[in-house]
Amino acid sequence: MPSIARKILSALAIAAFLSAAPAAFAASSEAEADAKEAEALKEVVLRVNGADFTRANLETAVANLMPSASFHSSVSSERKGQMRKDAVNGMINDELIAGEAARDKAIADSITRKDVNKEIDGLEKKLPQGRTLKDVLKASKMSKGELKDYLRKKLQSKRYIEKKTEEFKAQAEATVTDAFMRDYYDKHLEKFEEPEQMRLRAILIKADPSGGNAVWEAARQKAKGLADRARGGEDFVKLAEQYSEDPGGAKNGGDMGWQHKGSFLEEIDAVADRMKTGEISEPIMTIYGYLVVKVEDAKPAVQKKYEELNTGGLKQELVAKERGRLAEKWIADMRSAAKIEYLAVDVKPAEAKPAEEKKPAEPEKEARQPAPEAKP
């Protein structure tokens, strides 16, 4: 399971300079675009606590979430729409965390010149062949000092996230006590029920999918003959070993092992669900050919007792959930306290309505009319 830090970083969406540096590549694309398109890229579409994000920033963030450029055309319009929402949320969360990180002096003091230079080395390795860092800085009108300052802030955010992750982990582990787990068990008994199981044996008679009706009918007749012989008293195991055309199954007398109901092939489940232990089916048509199955044994559904659980595994699962809840609350609390302005229609959340779309207040006389009388 991915760490909470990774979950947070994926929510932020823009973690590295190539995907998030303000207009780093957008500026170079502006130079190649016509004047109208270049002007459109300068539009401020989002403002977070006074920090502006342009359409160029947004398009760069969306592109970063896309698969390899050669596969962009295969991404559905619905998926592209979701990526745009994710990019907007990423820019918001990134800015809010950067603000929190900037106020943490211990984190700021921990970042050395060596750390920043290492980040620059990493960026240079990611540049397309034939391009240099100097080219990118020139195109983006960014000095190397500004780049270093930007990378320092990104490192502050990264380390701040790591710090918060450790806090969430400690809080979650303190919360998930034995009493917490027992309470979770009592409230989610259905999660701890061992479903009904069946142990089947099968004989497969293959049929070529392109063989036509005659081939499939011959396979069905052969399977039916074997089913009749087994019902007549012949050993199903020996019949499977001799006639089954499933190499693995034939070696084991057709034994399919213990499996939960619903985990067999759909065609087998539909038949076996109505059978009793020891019963042998009629031939069952599948994409592989015809199967004859025997219900070797069955186990009813069993409710596991708390004492029978792998409590170590349960604790790990619940700690991960609690860490996730704390991380989500952290982000939600920052967002609720922030001033977030959606300045373009295509970045507004579905529930957000532009100010000009708000309906005027109802006339006073309308507001004072009594509500309709409730019917019994």
Nearest to 103 by CA among 340, 334, 339, 342: 334
pLDDT digits (tens, 9 = 90+) for 5-37: 333 333 333 333 343 444 444 444 445 556 677
User: End-to-end CA distance of the chain, in Å?
Assistant: 53
Q: What does pLDDT average to over the chain?
A: 82
With cut-offs at 50, 70 and 90, classify the pLDDT of residue 258: very high
- The conformation of residue 326, written as its DSSP 8-state character, comes to H
- pLDDT above 50 (res 205): yes
pLDDT digits (tens, 9 = 90+) for 318-355: 999 999 999 999 999 999 999 999 999 989 987 655 44
Looking only at the bridges linking them, the beta strands covering 284-286 and 289-299 are antiparallel
Which percentage of the chain shows pLDDT scores above 90? 56
Rounded to the nearest angstrom, the gap between the alpha carbon of residue 308 and the centroid of all alpha carbons in its chain is 31
- Kindly write down the DSSP assignment for every residue of 74-142, as one continuous string: GS-HHHHHHHHHHHHHHHHHHHHHHHHHHT-HHHHHH--HHHHHHHHHHHHHHSPTT--HHHHHHHHT-
d(CA 226, CA 203) in angstroms, rounded, equals: 8
pLDDT computed for residue 351 by the predictor: 67
- pLDDT above 90 (res 225): yes
d(CA 351, CA 347) in angstroms, rounded, equals: 11
CATH topology of domain 196-300: Chitinase A; domain 3 (3.10.50)
What mean pLDDT comes out for the span 88-112?
Answer: 93
The overall pTM is greater than 0.75: no
Rounded to the nearest angstrom, the gap between the alpha carbon of residue 4 and the centroid of all alpha carbons in its chain is 13
pLDDT computed for residue 78 by the predictor: 85
The dihedral through the CA atoms of 325, 328, 334, 337 has a sign that is negative
Q: Give residue limits of the domains in the chain.
A: 4-182, 196-300
Nearest to 119 by CA among 146, 151, 160: 151
Show the tokens assigned to 19: 């995907």
With cut-offs at 50, 70 and 90, classify the pLDDT of residue 73: low
What mean pLDDT comes out for the span 304-313?
Answer: 93
Q: Are 245 and 206 in contact (CB under 8 A)?
A: yes
Show the tokens assigned to 4: 């909470």
d(CA 70, CA 338) in angstroms, rounded, equals: 38
- pLDDT above 60 (res 362): no
The dihedral formed by the CA atoms of 160, 163, 165 and 168, expressed in degrees to the nearest 10: -120
Q: Are 113 and 8 in contact (CB under 8 A)?
A: no
Least confident of 19-23, 151-155, 191-195, 294-298: 19-23
pLDDT computed for residue 182 by the predictor: 96
Distances (CA, A) of 271 to 262, 267, 284: 11, 7, 8
Q: How many helices (H) and strands (E) does the chain have?
A: 17, 9
